[in-house]
């Protein structure tokens, strides 16, 4: 069984210690940091497979640390957010986090989200030995073997979740998917946080559209959902 390394970042020692117990009971290895700067040092030195990131921290906050990690890695980042900090949660998703858990959290939900994000990430990262499979619609090309997305021939950086959403929509051009349907097909679980789909769609548009506010490809169908227009 592969041992995964999880980085837990929170300035409250009681929280990091509690999370460490839950994760170690599931045979995960745990690294702990108490501010964003310490988290980045650990991330540079160790092979980290998933990050649990608090937002409000001294020295370097969770948003700043998330942006730094995203410059060089697509590992899953799950935000730990107090319920009163909705703007932090939204901000974190906008700058590259994959998911969020509100404090105080249920240990079983924490473990479920860690497991599902790791499963998606490792499935995304596996090499595909079959012949290159690609989809091309207009100037957007998706190469499934290498998990690359090209816009007018230029590769763009994309996270595993963004890739899966884009693959779903491009594989079914002109079909409208509801937000809940996208969540359930991509996250492979009931639609607990369907609003995160909207944030990921916005990020995808910023990467593939000339004018994200007037998208040519990834369009909203008001009151229903989204589609990739052919």
**pLDDT band for position 1 (50/70/90)?**
very low
Between these two residues, 63 and 30, which has the higher pLDDT value? 30
Find which of 39-53, 80-94, 126-140, 179-193 is predicted with most confidence, using mean pLDDT. 39-53
Range of the domain at 76: 5-125
pLDDT (0 to 100) of residue 8: 97
Please tell me the distance from the alpha carbon of residue 11 to that of residue 115, in angstroms, as a whole number. Answer: 24
pLDDT (0 to 100) of residue 11: 93
The tally of domains found in the chain comes to 2
* Residue 14 predicted with pLDDT over 80: yes
| pTM of the entire predicted model | 0.65
Same domain, 99 and 156: no
**Looking at residue 154, which CATH number applies to its domain?**
1.10.10.10
**pLDDT band for position 146 (50/70/90)?**
confident
The angle at the Cα of 16, spanning 11 to 19, to the nearest 5 degrees, equals: 150
pLDDT (0 to 100) of residue 91: 76
Mean pLDDT of all residues in the chain? Answer: 87
pLDDT in tens, 44-89: 999 999 999 998 888 898 889 999 998 888 899 999 887 666 676 7
pLDDT (0 to 100) of residue 128: 37
Domain boundary among 107, 125, 143: 125
């Amino acid at each position: 069984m592969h041992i995964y390394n999880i980085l837990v970042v929170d300035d409250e020692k009681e929280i990091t210690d509690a999370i460490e117990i839950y994760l170690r009971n599931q045979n995960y290895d745990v690294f702990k940091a108490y501010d964003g700067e310490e988290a980045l040092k650990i991330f540079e030195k160790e092979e980290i497979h998933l990050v649990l990131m608090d937002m409000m921290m001294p020295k370097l906050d969770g948003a700043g640390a998330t942006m730094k990690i995203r410059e060089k890695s697509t590992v899953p980042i799950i935000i730990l957010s107090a319920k009163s900090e909705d703007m932090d949660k939204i901000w974190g998703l906008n700058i590259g986090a994959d998911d969020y858990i509100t404090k105080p959290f249920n240990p079983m939900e924490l473990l479920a989200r860690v497991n599902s994000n790791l499963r998606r990430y490792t499935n995304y990262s596996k090499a595909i030995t079959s012949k290159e499979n690609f989809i091309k619609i207009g100037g957007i090309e998706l190469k499934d073997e290498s998990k690359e997305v090209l816009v007018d021939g230029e590769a763009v950086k994309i996270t595993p979740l963004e890739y899966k959403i884009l693959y779903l929509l491009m594989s079914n051009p002109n079909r409208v998917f509801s937000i809940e349907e996208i969540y359930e097909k991509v996250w492979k679980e009931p639609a607990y946080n369907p609003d995160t789909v909207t944030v990921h769609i916005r990020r995808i548009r910023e990467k593939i559209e000339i004018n994200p506010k007037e998208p040519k490809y990834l369009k909203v169908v008001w009151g229903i959902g989204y589609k990739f227009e052919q």
